[in-house]
Structure 1
Amino acid sequence: MNILAEMLLTEPAPMAIWAALMLLTLPALVVLASPHNVRNPGRALIDTVGFLRRRAERRDEELRRRLEEALQAARYAEEIQVAADQAGWAAQRWQGSWEGACERVDAAWRSWQAADARRARSRATAAFGTPYTAKTPAEYAYRERFLHRAVQDAVARGELPTEALADALSGRNGWDARLHPADQERVVQQVSADYLARVHERAAEAERAAWQDAASARRNRDSLIREAAIAEARAASLNHLIPTGATAAQEAFRPVFA
Structure 2
Amino acid sequence: MNTVLSRFLIEVPTATVIWSLLLVLALTGLAVLVARPERDQPTDVTAAGPPPDAPPPVADLRRYAEEVAVAASGAAQTARRRRAAWLAAQDTLDRAWQAYDEADTVARRFAGAGALPRPRTPRTPAEYADRERWLHQEAVAAHWRGELSVERLRDVFAHRDGWDPRRHPVEHEVMLARAVREDRRTAYRAAAGWERAAWRDAELAAEAARSLAVEAYAATQRLLPTLVPSPRPATSAARPTAAARWRPARVN
TM-score (ref. length: structure 1): 0.68
What corresponds to 1:108 in structure 2?
96
What corresponds to 1:161 in structure 2?
149
Distance change >3 Å, CA 107–CA 36, structure 1 → 2: farther
Q: Which amino acid aligns with 2:83?
A: Q
CA RMSD after TM alignment: 3.0
Over alpha carbons, which structure has the higher Rg? Answer: 2
What corresponds to 2:176 in structure 1?
188
| Contact 2:61–2:223, Cα closer than 8 Å, also in 1 | yes
| Contact 2:132–2:166, Cα closer than 8 Å, also in 1 | yes
Q: Write the distance in 2 (CA, Å) between the matches of 1:95 and 1:156.
A: 32
Indicate which of 208, 212, 221 corresponds to 1:233. Answer: 221
Indicate which of 55, 59, 62 corresponds to 1:71. Answer: 59
Distance change >3 Å, CA 205–CA 162, structure 1 → 2: same
What corresponds to 2:129 in structure 1?
141
What corresponds to 1:204 in structure 2?
192
TM-score (ref. length: structure 2): 0.70
| Alignment length (residue pairs) | 200
Instruction: Map Cα deviations across residues 215-257 of structure 1 (whole Å, 9 max, x no partner).
Output: 111111101100111111112223469xxxxxxxxxxxxxxxx
What corresponds to 1:252 in structure 2?
none
Q: Are 1:213 and 2:207 an aligned pair?
A: no
Instruction: Map Cα deviations across residues 5-34 of structure 1 (whole Å, 9 max, x no partner).
Output: xxxxxxxxxxxxxxxxxxxxxxxxxxxxxx
Q: Which amino acid aligns with 1:217?
A: A
| Contact 2:42–2:48, Cα closer than 8 Å, also in 1 | no
Query: 3-state DSSP class of the match of 1:123?
Result: coil
Task: Give the number of the structure whose residues are more often helix, by fraction.
Answer: 1
Q: Write the distance in 2 (CA, Å) between the matches of 1:66 and 1:152.
A: 78
Question: Any unmatched runs of 5+ in structure 1?
Answer: 1-34, 45-50, 242-258
Q: Write the distance in 2 (CA, Å) between the matches of 1:188 and 1:58.
A: 87
Q: Which runs of 4+ in 1 moved over 6 A?
A: none
